[in-house]
């Protein structure tokens, strides 16, 4: 498997009066023998001496693919071809994750993540966008913060592994359209503003030095399909390989926004919608990030809460996965009804707090009626996206082979609870796949498999974008999906069985 | 005629909800309509907003050819296609000449030259080379001085013309192999040291920003044939178009080194040899550069010197063209003999000065026997190069259609005097062409005619290098050529006629 970088060890004859080809031509001729028509970058030209001579003409060339051809980007004395590294980067609005990849094995050596320093300019994306709108200096500051975040994360990896960032040849970055606009210093107001024509959605290969990133070759940036369907989703396609499958799969990435792709090698329907910050604990009064003190699992047994707390200490608040568990448990125990409204007579823990019902899930920590209502909006948006797509295509749940849930949400949330509240469709549990950080995984794949780049062109061509808001019954469907698990409860047979205390047997043909 | 840059004025439809292609794709699609499969540079991506919107989608794209494809490097509001400029640069070891070229007309708008700031590190090339040898920091300082020299000259042009350097798209640089090594920060010791395999001789296109030059596209650097036959000579080929001719021509560039090419569209023989600093007034005791106070023309009439002095004031010394005139006049008047030795009895101006004969050509300014001897070495080297090439090929002076003399020497030196002293061959005067700064002219041509780049490949392929030192009778020929005009005086019939006071009629068939 050929990636987008190479390291080639060469043993060349030294120049003589009979053969006084330049060092440059000597190397290019050798590359031709390897079937490579290449060039030598300016930086590598400056390394020709003393590397070639000092190594006795036994040295290793780093090669970067630049989208058109191979380029020698660095020279090292001796045979260093066993040390061949690159970076895969998931540029998230909250977190920047960098994977140091061994390009010889295609495996991640080490991963590191840090908060995106853009947060200084706004915790949510819209604040950052308005901060920069028509203010080139502030945009430049956000761009710089983005680069700093990546460089800082690379430095952490350098310390952890002893592998210098500057010895890495290529980097691949996947991120949503706004993140890529910030990365390249392009005003991203367009991403959220009609007619949603973005500045650039095919950034391609940019020299590391142009971006002030420490790789000696290029940075490949995943293209976007549209304003809301960014490179992170395209990277997710690459990671899950939905676009290669015979059977139909669903890819679902849910965070502040929800992005959805349904399809196989024949077609790829895609759409995106606002999901709201509920999933990240944003609107829940005692909500918090998934860090020490956050309740991440909730069980309700004989009227008492059993909480799983990150770090094991006393609970300080509740994070996304805890919220999903919480609502599922409240519902299964009848503490909230199908509309998600508290049933106060069910427990003395349900109390009126400042004119609003709430349940005390830990000493002095309350989960409010408003928290539930807000979250149900989010989950109904998520479910409705899937429903619309099925409706548009005539595909039924039975046709779906796999349901990939990407990102932190998929990784942490209990499938069981997500189905109970009607956020995931009710299907065989092993067909629901927590796909992990597919943005990062797709970037790793593109780094180590050059054919993926051709695939990406195909993915973009195949994708058809559905505007959810333009669908006729959209609002009606949203309302129906707000119930727990759904107004049409027959769609959730396993949840119905649970409510009856039965064990549900799947009738799926899969 | 298509150059290596373009400016294309576009009027695009603005994005709508029905057509929400990104600005980037919108421009690339428009380029496709022009038959151009291109890309958009990182810098230009950052200009998409606000240029596209603010201009009402009426804007001008600057395009640079990068060796493989066209790249949009800048965007400007409105139609600026009438303002399309680039730089052609002759990077000389003494002088850096920059021509600001109007790429629409192919004509030079303005030229400026400055001393090469490398001079700080040594007036002659060898001193600079030893200064940098295996000292990367000092090499970097010389590289920086080179870039500074170019940038400073560009700034002068900016002031003179009001055309910002940064609005120029491309630059083309021609220089000898050492100069290009310094420009790129490559240790040039190899240029003068066996086995004369240089570091890089095909630098090609390098991004302006990588070199810290202010063009928004690329810098194309002329390739070299060998250590002594640099990009300045290849550029000279482009300027004179010898490589396209049916008839045989000679191209002669003489400075500290002499480079010679003889040929036509069928073949190109080339060679180079040390000529010595005599031509630049370096070894002559009262020698000086061609600046105010320098004697540039000399006549000897009735025992008295008639001097042409640059700036018109009192003479302070003598420059290259003055020296050639001086020796020719001394010889024609019999003040020196065929061996170039003073004949003291011919004039009271010929005196012994510190044990050495010398002639006082102006009050207290003397031209010494040693000066003459040194210069005759140079001129014999120059003549011998031409002679060897003719001998090798069996070509005679009659076969030569044109004799191009490049550079400052060709421009300032009297053809008549150069023939008299036996430095140029004795041929019809109008077939000797003062070709001017062919290094610069070739660079201008490459900037404004993209086909030249293909021609350059052909030139390099066609060139055959002759090592003058390896020719059998080399030393013998050198000695014979030291006489004025030559030991074999019959080769200089017009000089013989002059000595006899006759008017010489050419028998050339041309």
Q: SS3 string of B322-360?
A: HHHHHHHHHHHCCCECCCCCECHHHCCCEEEECCEEEEE
Residue B199 in contact with partner chain A when CB distance is under 8 A: yes
| Partner-chain residue, chosen from B15, B67, B195, that has the shortest CB–CB distance to A20 | B195
> Which residues in B lie closer than 8 A to residue A17 (C-beta atoms)?
194-196
Per CB-CB distance under 8 Å, the chain A contacts of B197 are 15, 19-23, 26
Closest partner residue to B187 (CB to CB) among A39, A49, A207 is A49
Q: How confident is the model at residue A62, as a pLDDT? A: 98
Q: Does A212 touch chain B (CB under 8 A)?
A: no
pLDDT in tens, B100-117: 999 999 999 999 999 999
Share of chain B above pLDDT 70, in %: 96
Give B357-385 pLDDT, tens digit per residue.
999 999 999 999 999 998 898 888 889 98
Asked if the model's pLDDT at residue B419 lies above 80, the reply is yes
pLDDT at B510: 43
Report the C-alpha gap between A200 and B25 in whole angstroms: 7
Backbone angles phi, psi at A359, to 5 degrees: -115, 135
The CA distance from B116 to B94, in Å, is 5
Nearest beta carbon to residue A198 from set B22, B187, B227:
B22
pLDDT in tens, A13-35: 999 999 999 999 999 999 999 99
A470 touches chain B (CB under 8 A): no
pLDDT in tens, A372-419: 998 898 889 889 988 999 988 899 988 999 999 998 778 889 999 999
CA distance B285 to B317: 9
- Nearest neighbour of B197 by CB, restricted to A21, A184, A210: A21
Which of B20, B65, B147 has the highest number of chain A CBs within 10 A, making it the mutation to test binding with A? B20
- The per-residue pLDDT of chain A, averaged, comes to 93
- A66: tokens are 């630049």
pLDDT for res A466 = 87
- Residue range A97-125: average pLDDT? 96
Q: Do the beta carbons of residue A245 and residue A265 sit within 8 Å? A: yes
Interface residue of B42, B59, B202 to substitute, partner A, most A CBs within 10 Å: B42
Q: Which H helix or E strand runs over A181?
A: helix A177-183
Mutate to test the interface with B, among A24, A26, A75 (most CBs of B within 10 A): A24
What pLDDT sits at residue A227? 93
> In B41-165, which ranges are E strands?
58-65, 70-77, 85-91, 95-102, 107-115
Contact B42 A211 (CB under 8 A): yes
Lateral strand order in the sheet of B268-274: B432-436, B400-406, B248-254, B257-263, B268-274, B463-465
Strand partners, A251: A261, A404
- Identify from B67, B200, B218 which residue to disrupt to test chain A contact, counting A C-beta atoms within 10 A and taking the largest count: B200
Taking the C-alpha atoms of residue B434 and residue B403, their distance in angstroms, rounded to an integer, is: 9
Please tell me if residue A73 touches chain B, with a CB cutoff of 8 Å: no
Q: Is the pLDDT assigned to residue B192 strictly greater than 80?
A: yes
Q: Is B206's pLDDT higher than 90?
A: yes
A195–chain B nearest CA distance, Å: 5
Partner-chain contact A195 B23, CB within 8 Å: no
Which residue from A16, A23, A42 is facing B184, i.e. has the nearest CB?
Answer: A42
Residues of chain B contacting residue A50, judged by C-beta atoms under 8 Å apart: 134, 187
Tell me, yes or no, if A461 comes closer than 8 A to chain B by beta carbon. Answer: no
Least confident segment among A157-171, B164-178, B187-201, B465-479: B465-479
Maximum Cα interatomic distance, chain B, rounded to a whole number of Å = 99
Residue-level pLDDT at A508: 45
Smallest CA–CA separation between B433 and chain A, in Å?
33
Confidence check: pLDDT of A435 > 60 = yes
Cβ distance B199 to A48 less than 8 Å, yes or no, reads: yes
pLDDT in tens, B268-326: 999 987 765 555 555 688 888 888 999 999 999 999 999 999 999 999 999 889 999 99
A209-231 average pLDDT score: 96
More confident residue, B358 or B474: B358
The lowest-confidence range among A41-45, A191-195, A331-335, A467-471 is A467-471
Between B467 and B101, residue with greater pLDDT: B101
pLDDT in the model for residue B106: 96
How many angstroms away from the CA of B17 is the closest CA of chain A? 5
Q: Are A171 and A211 in contact (CB under 8 A)?
A: no
Please, what is the Cα angle at A187 between A182 and A188, to 5 degrees? 70
The answer to whether A22 contacts B206, with C-beta atoms less than 8 Å apart, is no
- E strand intervals along B210-267: 218-221, 248-254, 257-263
Average pLDDT over residues A450-456: 96
Q: Residue A76 to residues A32, A55, A167: CA-CA distances in angstroms? A: 20, 9, 10
pTM for the model stands at 0.92
- Point out the residue among B20, B46, B197 whose CB comes nearest to the CB of A23: B197
Q: Rounded to a whole number, what is the distance in Å from the CA of A469 to chain B's nearest CA?
A: 13
Contact A25 B202 (CB under 8 A): yes
Q: Between A and B, how many residue pairs show a Cβ–Cβ distance under 8 A?
A: 124
Cβ of A48 under 8 Å from any chain B Cβ?
yes
Whether A181 has a pLDDT exceeding 60, the answer reads yes
Of B20, B50, B196, nearest to A197 by CB-CB distance is: B20
pLDDT at residue A483 in the model: 95
Contact check, Cβ <8 Å, B200/A40? yes
Q: Which of B13, B15, B21, B22 is most worth mutating to test chain A (most A CB atoms within 10 A of its CB)?
A: B22
3-state secondary structure of B450: coil
Distance from CA of B57 to the nearest CA of A (A): 13
Q: Which residues of B touch A40 (CB under 8 A)?
A: 200
Which chain B residues are closer than 8 Å to A75 by Cβ?
none
pLDDT-based confidence at B422, cuts 50/70/90?
Answer: very high
Is B449 in a helix, a strand, or coil?
coil
Residue B10 has pLDDT above 60, yes or no: yes
Residues 163-192 (B) with a CB less than 8 A from some CB of A: 184-187, 190
Task: Give the Cα separation of B208 and B214 in Å (integer).
Answer: 6
Of B22, B45, B190, the CB nearest to A184: B45
B208-226 core/surface letters (b: 16 or more CB in 10 A; e: else): bbbbebbbbbbbbbbbbbb
pLDDT at B281: 53
pLDDT of residue A510: 43
Instruction: Please report the residues numbered 53 through 72 in chain A whose beta carbons come closer than 8 angstroms to any beta carbon of chain B.
Output: 67-69
Q: What is the pLDDT of residue B290?
A: 84
Give the pLDDT score at A410. 80
Q: Which of B22, B46, B50 sits opposite A185 (nearest CB)?
A: B46
Task: Identify the pLDDT of residue A279.
Answer: 55
> Does B133 contact chain A (CB < 8 Å)?
no
Would you list the DSSP string of A261-302? Answer: EEE-SS-EEEEEEE--GGGGTSSSTTB--SSTTEEEEEEEET
Tell me what the mean pLDDT of segment A329-344 comes to.
96
Q: Is the per-residue pLDDT at A280 higher than 70?
A: no
Please spell the DSSP secondary structure of A66-101, one letter per residue. Answer: -SSSEEEEEEEES--TT--EEEEEEE-SSEEEEEEE
Given the cut 0.90, state whether the ipTM is greater than it.
yes
Residue of A nearest to B51 (CA): A199
Query: Of B16, B194, B202, which has the smallest distance from its Cβ to A17's Cβ?
Result: B194
* pLDDT at residue A10, as a whole number: 97
Contact assignment for A17 to B206 by CB distance below 8 Å: no
Mean pLDDT of A330-355: 95
What percentage of residues in chain A have a pLDDT greater than 90? 82
Contact A199 B49 (CB under 8 A): yes
Predicted local distance difference test score (pLDDT) of residue A509: 42
Closest Cβ opposite residue B185 in set A46, A134, A200: A46
What is the spatial distance between Cα B478 and Cα A43, in angstroms, rounded to a whole number?
A: 43
Comparing CB atoms, the residue among A22, A206, A211 nearest residue B197 is A22
pLDDT at B509: 42
Sheet holding B218-221, edge to edge: B107-115, B95-102, B85-91, B171-175, B218-221, B204-207
Closest to B188 measured CA to CA, from B237, B144, B119, B135: B135
Task: Tell me the shortest Cα–Cα distance from A86 to chain B, in angstroms.
Answer: 21
């Amino acid at each position: 498997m050929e990636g987008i970088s190479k390291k080639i060890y060469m043993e060349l004859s030294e120049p003589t009066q009979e053969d006084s080809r330049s060092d440059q031509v000597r190397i290019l001729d050798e590359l031709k023998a390897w079937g490579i028509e290449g060039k030598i970058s300016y930086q590598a030209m400056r390394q020709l001496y003393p590397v070639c001579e000092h190594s006795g003409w036994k040295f290793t060339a780093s090669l970067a693919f630049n989208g058109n051809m191979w380029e020698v980007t660095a020279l090292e004395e001796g045979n260093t071809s066993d040390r061949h590294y690159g970076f895969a980067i998931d540029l998230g609005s909250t977190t920047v994750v960098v994977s140091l990849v061994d390009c010889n094995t295609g495996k991640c050596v080490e991963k590191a993540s840090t908060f995106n320093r853009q947060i200084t300019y706004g915790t949510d994306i819209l604040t950052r966008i308005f901060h920069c709108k028509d203010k080139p200096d502030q945009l430049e500051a956000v761009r710089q913060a983005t680069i700093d975040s990546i460089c800082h994360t690379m430095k952490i990896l350098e310390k952890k592994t002893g592998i210098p960032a500057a010895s890495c040849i290529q980097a691949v970055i996947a991120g949503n359209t706004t993140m890529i606009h910030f990365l390249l210093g392009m005003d991203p107001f367009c991403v959220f503003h009609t007619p949603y024509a973005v500045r650039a959605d095919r950034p391609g290969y940019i020299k590391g030095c142009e971006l002030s990133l420490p790789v000696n070759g290029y940075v490949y940036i995943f293209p976007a399909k549209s304003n809301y369907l960014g490179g992170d989703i395209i990277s997710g396609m690459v990671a899950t390989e939905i676009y290669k499958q015979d059977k139909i799969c669903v890819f679902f990435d849910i965070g502040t926004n929800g992005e959805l792709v349904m399809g196989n090698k024949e077609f790829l329907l895609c759409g995106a919608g606002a999901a709201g910050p509920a999933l990240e604990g944003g609107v829940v009064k005692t909500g918090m990030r998934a860090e020490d003190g956050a309740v991440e699992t909730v069980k309700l047994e004989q009227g008492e809460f059993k909480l799983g707390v990150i770090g094991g200490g006393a609970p300080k608040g509740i994070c996304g996965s805890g919220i999903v568990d919480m609502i599922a448990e409240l519902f299964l125990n009848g503490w909230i009804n199908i509309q998600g409204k508290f049933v106060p007579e069910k427990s003395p823990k349900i109390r009126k707090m400042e004119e609003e019902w709430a349940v005390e899930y830990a000493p002095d920590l309350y989960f409010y009626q408003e928290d539930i209502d807000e979250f149900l909006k989010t989950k109904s948006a998520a479910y409705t996206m899937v429903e619309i797509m099925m409706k548009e295509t005539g595909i039924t749940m039975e046709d779906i082979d796999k349901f990939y849930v990407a990102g932190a949400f998929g990784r942490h949330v209990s499938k069981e609870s997500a189905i109970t509240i009607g956020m995931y469709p009710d299907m065989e549990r092993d067909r629901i796949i927590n796909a992990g950080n597919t943005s990062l995984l797709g970037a790793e794949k593109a780094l180590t498999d050059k054919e993926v780049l051709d695939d990406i062109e195909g993915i973009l061509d195949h994708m058809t974008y559905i505007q959810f808001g333009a669908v006729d019954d959209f609002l009606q469907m949203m309302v129906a999906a707000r119930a727990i698990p759904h107004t049409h409860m027959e769609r959730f047979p396993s949840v119905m069985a649970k409510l009856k205390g039965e064990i549900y047997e799947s009738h799926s043909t899969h």
